[in-house]
Amino acid sequence: MPNVYQGNLNGSGLKIGIAVSRFNTVITENLLKGAVDRLVSFGVADLDIDAVWVPGAFELPQTLHIMEKTGNYDGVMALGCVIRGDTPHFDYVCGAAGSGITRLGLSSETPVVFGVLTCDTFEQAQARAGVKSNKGIEAADSLIELINALKTFSQ
Ligand code: INI
């Protein structure tokens, strides 16, 4: 039999860092609420969640990098919403957020998840920041599962 490892959704005792972008706040405040409510439902204590508002999705990787370096968190999460406009700006912001957060995951031992919406329209973003379908909820699920799955391998 192989050794098979998988995480669970027990959040008790875990400390979580969140960076959330203010750009498209109507959307991102719903992502944050979805994520925080879900984390608490898994047993994460309110006071063990730190959420930092930053200007836009471009700023998410550096913010999480600085938060991660404190060593205070079992896992960190990026929340944001980028909506396509008329210029290539969208591609630069999405690319920087995605690759920056990927690099953070590869250069640290701390589990990191990507809860950034990258949408063509505001309506698409709204549909993914609601009560039932919410990228913040998904990010919370992913982070708690990942933290617990990787615990076995941490030094
Ligand atoms: N930031 C976002 O988070 N979402 C967007 O849709 C967006 N658009 O469209 O421009 C956006 N731009 C700001 C960017 O993230 C930085 O905050 C800014 O460039 C300053 O570094």
Give the model's confidence band at 152: pLDDT under 50 very low, under 70 low, under 90 confident, else very high. confident
Is the CB of 77 within 6 Å of ligand 1?
Answer: no
| Number of continuous H segments (helices) and E segments (strands) in the chain | 5, 4
DSSP, residue by residue, 26-66: HHHHHHHHHHHHHHHHTT--GGGEEEEEESSGGGHHHHHHH
Nearest CA to ligand 1 atom 14: 56
Nearest to 138 by CA among 111, 117, 108, 110: 117
Query: Which homologous superfamily does the CATH classification assign to the domain defined by 16-145?
Result: Lumazine/riboflavin synthase (3.40.50.960)
Question: Which pLDDT value is given to residue 77?
Answer: 98
Domain spans in the chain, listed from the N-terminal domain onward: 16-145
pTM for this entry: 0.97
Check if 89 is active-site.
yes
Give the model's confidence band at 155: pLDDT under 50 very low, under 70 low, under 90 confident, else very high. low
* Distance from Cα 40 to the centre of ligand 1, integer Å: 29
Of 89, 120, 131, 152, which one is the catalytic site residue?
A: 89
Kindly report, residue by residue over 138-147, the tens digit of the pLDDT.
999 999 999 9
Is the CB of 80 within 6 Å of ligand 1?
Answer: yes
Give CA angle at 50 (45, 56), nearest 5°.
140
